[in-house]
A and B are shown apart, each in its own frame.
Chain A
Amino acid sequence: MSHPEVGERLSSIKHVILVLSGKGGVGKSSCTVQLALSLAHQGHKVGVLDIDLCGPSIPRMLGLEGQQIHQASAGWVPVFADSTKRLACMSIGFLLPSKDSSVVWRGPKKNAMIKQFLADVYWGDLDYLLIDTPPGTSDEHLAAVEYLQEWNPDGAVVVTTPQAVALSDVKKEINFCEKVGLPVLGLIENMSGFVCPHCAECTNVFSTGGGEGLAKHMDIPFLGRAPIDPNLVMLLEQEDKTLVPDANDPDAEKERTGSIVETYQRCELSKIFAKITSHLEETVEAKE
């Protein structure tokens, strides 16, 4: 089946990347947000589409809770996370009556929503569209891949944590990508170690190195390893994203920046993600 309305929207978008992981809670959404913030910081125009319909976290992470979508003649206008409009976001979170309401939907209804997201959102010109997905290999993933397939999405970034339980789900996700013909652009090993703020010793809370080993084993590019950074956790948590977080002293008065893009640059982790992002950009551009 052809989906020309999706193709029309995608024609103004240079790169489409899905962020996947078989396992939940490994940091798909936080990696998506960090990739988006890094890309936006480098001057790209970025869109983030959240297709986790039952548990949308992107609005909270980008500080856009309570915002609403506007309908224009060209389609749904996404919500912008910064004043320069370089970072746009679309999520079901913007469409719910209250943030506590659950979306108890079976597959077909989720598929229809995803199609609408892909066909009806007025992104304008974008360099990157990042699609954040729910865990698993089911309806949402199939729907997204099905609608995007004929328009050649660039591929998928797979996120994992280092422990064996997560890796086995991630292998399934990579297997899924192979089966549906979606190129794997690379693997990110997230939550790889935690630096104790008291003694600066790095503990491997969820062990370490598993992701890199898996990438080698399955012959896919390894994009990098990101430790747990309490400051980042705090930045994604707090409602006012212009405050520079300090997890060591949460109650201290904080510095203020212009936008979440700038605040993120103050987190240690942004340096690591800058590398991961440029690695990803090279992969994507090499494919062209």
Chain B
Amino acid sequence: MADVAAPQGTVPEDANEHCVGPEHELAGRASGCEGCPNQQICATQASGPDPDLPVVAERLRNVKHKILVLSGKGGVGKSTFTGQLAFALAGDEEKEVGVVDIDICGPSLPRIMGCEREEIHRSAAGWSPIYVQDNLGLMSIAFMLPDEDAAVIWRGPKKNGLIKQFLKDVDWGSGADNTLDYMLFDTPPGTSDEHLSVVQLLRNSGISGAVIVTTPQEVALQDVRKEIDFCRKANVPIIGVVENMSGFVCPGCHGESRIFYPTTGGASALCKDLNIPLLGSIPLDPSIGRACDFGSSFIDTHADSPAAKAYVQIIDRIKQIVESTSSTSK
């Protein structure tokens, strides 16, 4: 049965034993498809690998580092972290940074990065991202909504379509060659359509790695373990884990307390268990939230706070890891 071997990584992990994967040319017609509830769907879809994959790879050819920011759990600070990471990376004027917000149903980066209510311009070269700074562009669905309260009630396939467009139709500028030093992807919580799509679409162009954000309590860590399981299944390298909201310093008495209590040892125990680097812990600081509400860079406005220092340390480590891995792989 060598001829029905699936293209790597396309078989759904929960598929029947002999599934050839929906992208195989025999999809829907292989012997293993007999009796599968999805046979009809696979048989009627265009087979073969997605014809847009090379287009995406071509468009992102000159993007040096592609970093996913993931977390199984919602509200742990993925977008906050992505925003600060982007501001920090773009602090170096030599670097070009692009941010893609693939949280289609709840885009928060435009507010966090202070560019709400902007509109995307289309040109022959593609969609132009919104520039927060000269060297920092952002693409988000929020720039395409009629008003900011409009809900995006989309099922999976439509979300996937837009993500694909974000990857292949955005003109990241800086000349004709779309050169970017960093491209960051902010994701929604979970392990579903958006995550699968972005990973599959980037298969040909390569992902530098994923930064996983968590909070210290077990309820969040539980979901993070699932996300790590997802990364391993999808062959996405993990750069490391960031523990957010760990500890709270009362502005009144400066006593430290734990709002989200790490009953199972927090992120450090998880990292030890699963053998992944812990990039650092960021304390909960009410001014982070306020900086996000006003769309300013927390690291710049509160450079002396412990939280900003933690951020800077973590971001330096990410830079180091990403740059060292890409130089060894080339």
Contact = CB atoms under 8 A, between A and B. Distances in A.
Contacts of A259: none
B261 A233 contact: yes
A233 B257 CA distance: 13
B131 interface: no
A165 B293 contact: yes
Contacts of B225: 99-100
A100 to B, nearest CB: 4
A2 interface: no
A199 B250 contact: yes
Contacts of B159: 138
A207 B288 CA distance: 11
A11 B220 CA distance: 35
A99 B102 CA distance: 27
Interface in B212-245: 215, 217-220, 222-223, 225-230, 233-234
A203 B226 contact: no
A247 B258 contact: yes
Interface string B139-151: 0000000001111
Interface residues on B, range: 35 or more
A106 B260 contact: no
Contact of B290 (A25, A141, A172, A207): A207
B190 A55 contact: yes
B151 A107 contact: no
Given A104-B196, A194-B248, A138 B154 contact: yes
A57 B226 CA distance: 12
A238 interface: yes
B156 interface: yes
B219 A236 contact: yes
B252 interface: yes
Nearest to B76: A25
B290 A102 contact: no
Chain A's interface size range is: 35 or more
A136 to B, nearest CB: 4
Interface string B104-115: 111010011000
Interface string B251-265: 111010111110100
Given A102-B229, A194-B259, A201 B252 contact: yes
Given A107-B157, A138-B154, A165-B108, A55 B263 contact: no
Interface in B67-83: 72-76, 79
Contacts of A179: 151, 153
Given A172-B149, A201-B252, A205-B284, A228 B108 contact: no
Contacts of B76: 24-25
B222 A57 contact: yes
Contacts, number: 217
Contact of A171 (B72, B149, B289): B149
B137 interface: no
B170 interface: no
A158 to B, nearest CB: 12
Contact of B248 (A134, A135, A205): A205
Given A138-B154, A163-B292, A203-B252, A55 B108 contact: no
B226 A101 contact: yes
A190 B251 CA distance: 21
Task: Output the residue of A105, A109, A141, A175 with the most chain B CB within 10 A.
Answer: A105
A199 B253 contact: yes
B261 A230 contact: yes
B151 A173 contact: yes
A268 to B, nearest CB: 15
B112 A165 contact: yes
A24 B73 contact: yes
B225 to A, nearest CB: 4
Interface in A12-44: 22-26, 29
15 contacts: A24-B188, A25-B75, A55-B72, A110-B192, A138-B159, A161-B75, A164-B293, A175-B150, A175-B151, A180-B153, A201-B250, A230-B258, A234-B261, A237-B219, A237-B263
9 A-B pairs with least C-beta separation: A24-B74, A25-B75, A198-B255, A107-B156, A54-B190, A136-B105, A199-B253, A196-B250, A102-B226
Interface of A: 22-26, 29, 54-55, 57, 60-61, 99-110, 134-139, 141-142, 161, 163-166, 168-169, 171-176, 179-180, 194, 196-199, 201, 203-207, 228, 230, 233-234, 236-238, 247, 250
Given A54-B192, A55-B190, A57-B222, 14 more contacts: A25-B215, A54-B189, A57-B73, A99-B222, A100-B225, A106-B156, A134-B189, A137-B153, A138-B155, A169-B106, A198-B257, A201-B252, A234-B261, A236-B219
